[in-house]
């Protein structure tokens, strides 16, 4: 998620952007053919949760690819769409945007609204911290926090993104044991965020919940360690990564007057 150094990220971003341009494709159009097909095929499904499950399942096996977004404090932001590789956040953003529209022509606007504050394609308006992503996508009605007893408030100073400056996070979070004891409150399509134990960083990962037929919770995510999009048991992921707190957001059905349906 966060970059280890600004120069390294810029170099990778330039390479990613250069590859798209060398292929004769603008970054904003590089991944839309496959996405358009999935949007069309998902239209028959009546709920956003069902569309998220369908679209995300079709993307299983897609390679993990970091640093695909282009822009920086001194570099113009470019709107990027691609389906050939995701990090954990761009996977969730792409699937969620595709699940909220009924035609490809509305996809870009939906993705901009999810990725950027008020849809403004500027580096400082991008939701760099996932805590901001959660806040702004709840405020604009795209998602809503899942209520659960036993939540706590996690407060933290954030300063892991060069160029943004320090900021304070106050996040309502669910302890791991509370989540596992209330699995009946979790639904397929919920977006789960895993809070980081590292200083100055809010979250270390995110993905979608999939509830199997037997009721077991699975995580569908773009995993850097596994180098692809895949499913794995949520309980195993929580244990292996020593997760203490999570947040859950439930995608909402788009309003007709949102101009993205």
Q: What separation, in Å, do the N-terminal and C-terminal C-alpha atoms of the chain show? A: 30
Measure CA 253 to chain center. Answer: 17
Q: What pTM was estimated for this model as a whole?
A: 0.87
Out of 140, 156, 176, pick the residue that ends a domain.
Answer: 140
Domain span including residue 181: 143-251
pLDDT at 84: 93
Domain count, the chain: 2
Ranges under pLDDT 70 in the chain: 1-31, 256-261
* Per-residue pLDDT tens digits for 17-66: 444 433 333 455 555 789 999 999 999 999 999 999 999 999 999 999 99
Residues 108 and 148 in one domain: no
Residues 98 and 65 in one domain: yes
Residues 127 and 158 in one domain: no
pLDDT at 68: 94
Residues 197 and 166 in one domain: yes
pLDDT at 245: 98
Q: What is the CATH number of the domain that holds 51?
A: 1.10.3670.10
Residue 219 contacts residue 231 (beta carbons within 8 Å): yes
* H or E element in which residue 38 lies: helix 32-42
The answer as to whether 256 is a domain residue is no
């Amino acid at each position: 998620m966060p970059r280890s150094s600004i120069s390294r990220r810029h170099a990778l971003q330039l390479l990613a952007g250069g590859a798209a341009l060398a292929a004769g494709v603008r970054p904003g159009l590089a991944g839309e053919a496959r996405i358009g097909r999935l949007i069309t095929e998902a239209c028959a499904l009546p709920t956003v949760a069902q569309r998220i499950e369908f679209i995300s399942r079709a993307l299983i096996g897609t390679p993990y690819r970091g640093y695909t977004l282009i822009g920086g404090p001194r570099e113009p932001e470019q709107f990027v769409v691609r389906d050939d590789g995701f990090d954990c956040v761009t996977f969730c953003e792409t699937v969620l945007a595709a699940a909220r529209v009924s035609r490809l022509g509305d996809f870009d606007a939906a993705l901009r609204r999810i990725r950027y504050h008020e849809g403004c394609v500027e580096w400082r308006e991008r939701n760099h911290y996932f805590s901001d992503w959660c806040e702004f996508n709840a405020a604009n009605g795209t998602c809503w926090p899942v209520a659960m007893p036993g939540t706590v408030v996690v407060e933290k100073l954030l300063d892991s993104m060069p160029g943004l400056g320090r900021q304070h996070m106050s996040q309502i979070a669910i302890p791991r044991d509370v989540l596992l004891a209330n699995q009946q409150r979790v639904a397929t399509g919920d977006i789960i965020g895993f809070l980081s134990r590292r200083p100055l960083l809010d979250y270390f990962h995110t993905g979608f919940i999939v509830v199997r037929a037997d009721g077991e919770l699975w995580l569908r995510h773009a995993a850097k360690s596994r180098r692809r999009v895949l499913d794995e048991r949520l309980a195993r992921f929580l244990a292996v990564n020593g997760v203490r707190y999570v947040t859950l957001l439930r995608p909402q059905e788009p309003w007709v007057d949102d101009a993205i349906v």
